Structure 1
Amino acid sequence: MPPATLSSINITILGSASAQPSSTRNHSALALRLGGDVWLFDCGEATQHRVQKSTVKMGRTQKIFITHTHGDHIFGLLPLLASRLDGAGGVVDADDPRTKAESRQAVPPLEIYGPLGTRAYIRSGLTYTHTLLGAPYVVHELRFTSDPPLDPTALPPHSFELPGRDIQQVDGVWPEIYRDDLVTVSAAPIMHSVPCVGYVVTELPVPGKMDPKLYIPHLKRTKMPMSLMSRLQQGESVELSDGTVLRGPSRRPGRKLVILGDTYDPSPIADLAADADILVHEATNSHLPGVDPETKAEDTHASVEARAKSRGHSTPQMAGRFARRIRARKLLLNHFSARYAGNDDVDEQARSIMEAIKALAVSEFDGEVVCARDFMSFDVELRQEG
């Protein structure tokens, strides 16, 4: 069978705020739709509410990737898990089918990836809220070399928790923490005030552009079935009845998405992120004199950048410089301070502020720049050949 290909890759922003939500921005969460599957990146408070108000299907969520364990990136994880896995509260009943071992084996687990602490946070939250689940989950932790040893006094696994991997770094990164027939996921540390991870989702090579006129006459001449076109489309070679060998077009690189958590310097992920089709990079703080009425008179671009770095964050210019460094095609700015409203599609002042933030990134990066807005949704297209 020829390898499958993804029909589409879609990004939907479920939350674009930093630190605290506002009336126009929710806490950090991004949904990546790979064909029919949904993967979430971060899961801030009230993420499940945003899912319910979006076109993202909760039941299709297969994986969740946590960048770091700050509350604005993880406080929505437990309620979302309870909803996604048919959870309920109450006293454990021996007759409840959710307590049966066979229930844990009936369906594939929801997979969660994150740094040290992700597993303990979920385990303790579910245990002490007496949450029963109707399906299993598994947590794979990405271990930093500086992580402390495992705590032998930790809580035992939740009844629906399956054993997860403790993934060690290889040459400073976590290569291919996940792989299937369509995509791979790798990760690397990025610099923040706490251990933080950036993820790189890479689509495996896809069929090249095919010109049927190069093949159909040969198939007709040798009375070979037209169904062979599907094999040629996948880049395979086909031998015809007269010994002629037709070779399909070479496969070409798939799409690469780089989704970063909070950072003041994502340099450790630069090699993995090279030539990204889209880079999702935070831009928490900006200096916007004459545009943002809250701009401090004594501030400069340099002072705002220094203050952002001291808190583990970035400015749009910093995001633009990194996008240029890795030769990204498109930069999606995200994780904005609560002072920057997210209703720029309907509010003129918000629009002028977001356009000014975009312009700061454009000053450092000549690719496409987009400022995230909650419920924004778009497809990631393949690059044109040639």
Structure 2
Amino acid sequence: MRTPITSLGITFLGTASAKPSSTRNHSSLALRLDGDVWLFDCGEATQHQIMKSTLVKMGKIEKIFITHLHGDHIGGLLCLLASAMNGDGGTIPSVEDPRVGSALIQPLEIYGPLGTRAYVRNGLKLTYTLLEGTYVVHELRFPEDPPGETENSPSPSQNLHPSESPDGRNIPQVDGKWAEIFNDSIISVSAAPIFHSVPCVGYVVHEAPVQGKVDPKLYIPHLKRTGTDMRVMKEIQKGQVVTLADGTVLEGPPREPGRKIVILGDTHDPSPMEELAKEADLIVHEATNAHLPGVDNRVKTEDTYESVEERAKSRGHSTPQMAGRFAKRIGARNLFLNHFSSRYSGGNDGTSRAVMEAIRRLAVAEFGSGDVVCARDLMNVEIPSKRALVKGKKPAVVVETQ
């Protein structure tokens, strides 16, 4: 069972769209829950980026959430599975092979839209890849998806890869979303469709309410007055109600809201996410294209902000202004722009910094009061607890680059 999260953060492993560059890798993001890792998308060479990261460890990956099946978001998945689960080539083994299913107590979980299961299963089989652990694929089904099992989505129990668990679920959409596709007492994940050129999903990670911190000044005088053992403070801190000898009732501090993180895939319109994403502490939103006259020397003379936005939408993508507008609409605290065109370098030279600052300002103009950051590869983000934010001890996020 997971214990309450003390450290919650994000590492951007890849921030490019379509084509990688020397400064940006294909799309992938690691959510860090203390030492554990949940990946969101897994583009080509994600495992190389993990090797460069000081905070993300391959052996700590528990779950992988795929937003859509475009190659720049899933092309590194099979190789990462092989590395994370000590895979190698060879003849497909029998179930008696000691390598099969021996390394992980719990299967590595993969979530994604229709076709994710077939992609993983057939890719591993066709490349003769053996795994020491087990994995399981859960598919998020759109209403328009064909009913039952198809060639693109074989049954979880049909012709399994030797390391595949048969417990994969086909999760139907209910009221336009997939509520709590994962949940435990500490954290949950929900999802909703977002509009792109292919079926695409946005995810919301929501920490459960956490027990508020006891202020001793409110309790100790009562305990001393009644001669109560101070050890009852532990019960009060857990939220329990304590009745003292004189009838005084002491209640533990109220529970405080947990942190909420919204991670979108490629989109020109994430409006179906709006309800789930309300009041997010942090949203990651793509900003593939931007109009940067006077900053980007490759701007076409005939282009305008409106024409660039229409072109981005026609390809299923967003501009910084579109990201800013959505972040404002949901009342987000922080906006991280991601998934940049290859023309926008993630380098640290003056020209690259000027371009990214111009992109950031476009989003700020629409977002208004919140903070906006342009993500770079291997950027680390820490998300303080609500208690720290309310008391003003920390900024909404702490950003570090390696």
TM-score, length-scaled by structure 2: 0.91
Q: 1:93–1:136: structure 2 CA closer, same or farther, 3 Å change rule? A: closer
Residue 369 (structure 1) aligns with? 372
1:173 aligns with 2:177: yes
The offset of 1:239, in angstroms, is 2.2
Tell me, which stretches of 5 or more residues in structure 1 are unaligned? none
Superposed CA deviations along residues 305-331 of structure 1, whole A, max 9, x for unmatched, are 000000000000000000000000000
Residue 22 (structure 2) aligns with? 23
- Which whole-Å CA distance do the structure 2 matches of 1:79 and 1:140 have between them? 19
Residue 11 (structure 2) aligns with? 12
- What is the DSSP-based 3-state SS (H/G/I as helix, E as strand, rest coil) of the residue aligned with 2:20? coil
The offset of 1:98, in angstroms, is 1.6
Residue 257 (structure 2) aligns with? 253
Residue 156 (structure 1) aligns with? 159
The offset of 1:210, in angstroms, is 2.9
Superposed CA deviations along residues 292-345 of structure 1, whole A, max 9, x for unmatched, are 0111111000000000000000000000000000000000000000000001xx
Number of residue pairs aligned between Structure 1 and Structure 2: 380
Superposed CA deviations along residues 105-126 of structure 1, whole A, max 9, x for unmatched, are x611000100001110000000
Residue 114 (structure 1) aligns with? 112
The offset of 1:221, in angstroms, is 3.3
- Which whole-Å CA distance do the structure 1 matches of 2:38 and 2:26 have between them? 17
1:141 aligns with 2:139: yes
The offset of 1:4, in angstroms, is 4.3
1:229 aligns with 2:233: yes
Q: 1:110–1:45: structure 2 CA closer, same or farther, 3 Å change rule? A: same
TM-score, length-scaled by structure 1: 0.95
Q: Please give the root-mean-square deviation of Cα atoms over the aligned residues, in Å.
A: 1.8
Superposed CA deviations along residues 345-370 of structure 1, whole A, max 9, x for unmatched, are x3000000000000000110121000
- Which whole-Å CA distance do the structure 1 matches of 2:198 and 2:235 have between them? 49
How do residues 204-353 of structure 1 correspond to structure 2 at under 5 angstroms? Answer: 204-343=208-347, 346-353=348-355
Q: Is the 8 A contact 2:37 2:63 kept in 1?
A: yes
1:188 aligns with 2:188: no
Amino acid at match of 1:382: S
- Which whole-Å CA distance do the structure 2 matches of 1:377 and 1:232 have between them? 35
Superposed CA deviations along residues 57-108 of structure 1, whole A, max 9, x for unmatched, are 1111100000000000000100111111121111245574124x7x38x611
The offset of 1:30, in angstroms, is 0.4
- What is the DSSP-based 3-state SS (H/G/I as helix, E as strand, rest coil) of the residue aligned with 2:203? strand
Residue 132 (structure 1) aligns with? 130
1:379 aligns with 2:386: no
Residue 400 (structure 2) aligns with? none
Q: 1:12–1:152: structure 2 CA closer, same or farther, 3 Å change rule? A: closer
How do residues 51-62 of structure 1 correspond to structure 2 at under 5 angstroms? Answer: 51-55=50-54, 56-62=56-62
- Which whole-Å CA distance do the structure 1 matches of 2:323 and 2:178 have between them? 23
The offset of 1:209, in angstroms, is 4.1
1:91 aligns with 2:91: yes
- Which whole-Å CA distance do the structure 1 matches of 2:240 and 2:334 have between them? 32
Q: Is the 8 A contact 1:209 1:385 kept in 2?
A: no
Deviates more, 1:242-251 or 1:253-262: 242-251
